[in-house]
Each structure stands twice: as C-alpha cells, then as structure tokens.
C-alpha cells in the first residue's frame, strides 16, 4: 500500500515537472518565433521596392520557413477617391517536418504604403 | 506460566530482510527523484535565463533604433582581429539610445554598439558612449584604445553579426561600404551553443538619406 502511494506520488510529481518544463520551453519557442516573424514582417513591409508576390523563405536548421503573401489593394476612401499604392502583406510561419509535413505555427498581417518608407 | 515457542509473535529473518529491501528501494527512489527534479529545474531555469537575456538584448537594440530621429544616422566600422572581426555600430546623434544614464551629457554624440572578440574566442558586446573627440581618437587606433564610458551588455556571446539592406541592389550587405543608405538592419546573435542563432531586423529613420 505504502509502495503504491509512493509510486503514484512520484509519478505525479515527475509528470507535473515535465509539464512545467514543456510549458517553459513552448513559451520560449513562441516568443522567439514571434521575434522572427516580426523580423520577416519588418523586412518585407519596410522594403521601398515591395511588389505583389508570393514566396517562401528557405527553411532554417529548425525547419522553420516563412511564406510571404503580398497583394496589391484597391481601396477607395469615403469620398470615392482611389487609394493608390497600398499592399496587403501577410507572413506565415511554417514548420516543415523531416517527412515533409507542414505545420502552420503563426501568422501576422499588415497594410503598407511603401512610399512612406 | 510460560508461552510455548510456537505462539510467540515476532518477525522472521525473511520478513525483516524484505522490509529493509523495500525501505532501501523507497529511499533510493526518493533520492534519485529529488536529484532528477533538481537537475531538470536547474536546466529549465538556465534556458529561461538565457532566453530572457537574448530577448532583453533585442529589445534594448530595438528601442535604440526606434529612438533615432531625422538628425540621426547609422555608421558601421569593422576591424580584422586575426581572421575574426570586431564590429562597431555607431548611432550618431541618438541621445536616447541605450540610455542607462551615461549618455545624458550633451557632448555624447555617438552611442556605439560594440562586438569585440575576446582572448578566449568569445564575443563581448557592449555600448561605448563617445564624444566627437573620443571617436576621432578611437578611429586613429582602429578602435583598439577606446577612452570612453563602456557598459557591458552580454559578456560572452558566440555570435553577433550585422547586415544592412541595400534597397538599390535589393539584397543584404555585410557592411555599409560604398555609401549605402538604408533603414533596415539585420542582427544575428547567439549567446551559447544550446540555442540556435536568433535573427532579427530593426527599422530606423536614417537622417543621412
């Protein structure tokens, strides 16, 4: 009985610690992923030569790649005037597993007017 | 009145040996569990500390770049130190960059983010707060004798490299040589081998444009 109780307590403690470690690791990975996503978003959206295109960066050592979708936007303001030179930029972080399986991790989007930068 | 030997209650040798074995097993398990737990928590804490250090460094750099104004500019110096390069990224006329209370003096015109190779092969990153005179003297000595206040940001790093986006060529360049004017700087840093290099990009107003 004592052995059983001890075993249950020990396994529960180890499991709890394992979950804590995994949570910490995931939080760190998420914050670093967001940092990389922000970097790609800045790189693309602040490029004065931005053009409509869809491309994907090469996967890094961790299998992390970014898909970049840039579309020209045709919007009018309240007066009906056309708002020229606007682009919609979307960056998606993708994890490419060794078997080729692709997992979408996170994405960010914005609207840019390259003439500003 | 005497009790017969058969009715006397006591543990047999086998029972005693079994209970001692169980006790030893429990104590050993408890010790190994505590040991493993301590080790795991120590590793988790180390990883957390390093990640926080990386992100604090990136945030400090981002805040410095975002503090640049229309009067500011970015300059980049690099010096070959036996096959590896010391790099110095100067934020000119940026009084609020890396403001830890040292660059409040009006005569500080350059805040220089340095990545210097140390004798052990590691990189020491830190910030120099330079007046024009300090900068002239540093340039004359190829930045080997810098007489200016210095704040260490990360004392031991494996990598701290810069690239600058050339909008004309539409590619990243390793230096600002050739009069490149840019508002995008890429930093790649690695504190130690346990985590992969972290790439980040900073945008800034470039007063030289």
- Residues in B 19-48 with any Cβ partner in A closer than 8 A: 22, 26, 29-30, 33, 36-37, 40-41, 44, 47-48
Residue of B nearest to A16 (CA): B37
Alpha helices in chain B (DSSP H): 13-66, 132-140
pTM score, two decimals?
0.81
Establish if B202 touches chain A: CB-CB under 8 angstroms: yes
Q: What angle do CA B187, B88, B192 make, to 5 degrees?
A: 50
User: How many domains is chain A built from?
Assistant: 1
Give per-residue pLDDT as tens, B161-199: 999 999 888 889 999 988 888 889 999 999 887 788 899
Q: What is the pLDDT of residues A43-86, one digit of tens each?
A: 999 888 888 999 999 988 888 999 999 999 888 888 888 888 89
How many CB pairs below 8 A link A and B? 71
| Whether the predicted interface score ipTM is above 0.85 | no
- Computed over every residue of chain A, the mean pLDDT equals 88
- Distance CA(A101)–CA(B9), nearest Å, equals 68
Q: Give the pLDDT confidence score for residue A109 in this predicted structure.
A: 94
For the stretch B73-94, pLDDT in tens is 899 999 998 888 999 999 998 8
* Residue stretches of chain B with pLDDT short of 50: none
Let me know: does B64 contact B95? Beta carbons within 8 Å: no
Report pLDDT for B209: 58
> Which residues are bridge partners to A66 per DSSP?
A93
Question: Domain range holding A92?
Answer: 2-116
Look up tokens 């914050």; give the residue.
A31
């Amino acid at each position: 009985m004592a052995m059983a109780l001890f075993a249950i307590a020990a396994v529960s403690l180890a499991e709890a610690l394992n979950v804590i470690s995994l949570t910490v690791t995931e939080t760190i990975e998420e914050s670093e992923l967001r940092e990389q996503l922000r970097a790609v978003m800045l790189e693309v959206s602040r490029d004065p030569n931005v053009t409509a295109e869809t491309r994907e960066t090469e996967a890094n050592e961790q299998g992390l790649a970014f898909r970049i979708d840039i579309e020209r936007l045709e919007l009018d303001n309240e007066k009906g005037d056309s708002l020229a030179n606007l682009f919609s930029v979307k960056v998606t972080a993708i994890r490419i597993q060794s078997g080729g399986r692709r997992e979408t991790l996170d994405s960010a989007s914005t609207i840019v007017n390259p003439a500003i930068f | 009145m005497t009790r017969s030997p058969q009715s006397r209650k006591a543990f047999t040798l086998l029972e005693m040996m079994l209970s001692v074995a169980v006790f030893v097993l429990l104590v050993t398990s408890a010790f190994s569990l505590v040991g493993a737990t301590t080790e795991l928590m120590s590793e988790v804490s180390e990883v957390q500390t390093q990640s926080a250090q990386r992100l604090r460094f990136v945030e400090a750099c981002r805040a410095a770049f975002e503090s640049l104004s229309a009067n500011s500019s970015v300059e980049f110096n690099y010096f070959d130190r036996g096959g590896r390069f010391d790099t110095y990224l100067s934020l000119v006329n940026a009084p609020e960059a890396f403001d830890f209370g040292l660059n409040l003096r009006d005569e500080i015109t350059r805040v220089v983010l340095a990545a210097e190779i140390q004798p052990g092969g590691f990189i020491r990153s830190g910030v120099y707060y330079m007046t024009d005179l300090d900068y002239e003297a540093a340039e004359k000595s190829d930045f080997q004798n810098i007489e200016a206040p210095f704040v260490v940001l990360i004392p031991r790093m494996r990598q701290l490299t810069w690239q600058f986006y050339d909008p004309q060529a539409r590619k990243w360049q390793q230096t600002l040589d050739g009069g490149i004017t840019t508002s995008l700087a890429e930093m790649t840093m690695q504190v130690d081998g346990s985590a992969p290099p972290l790439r980040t990009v900073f945008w800034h107003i470039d007063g030289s444009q």
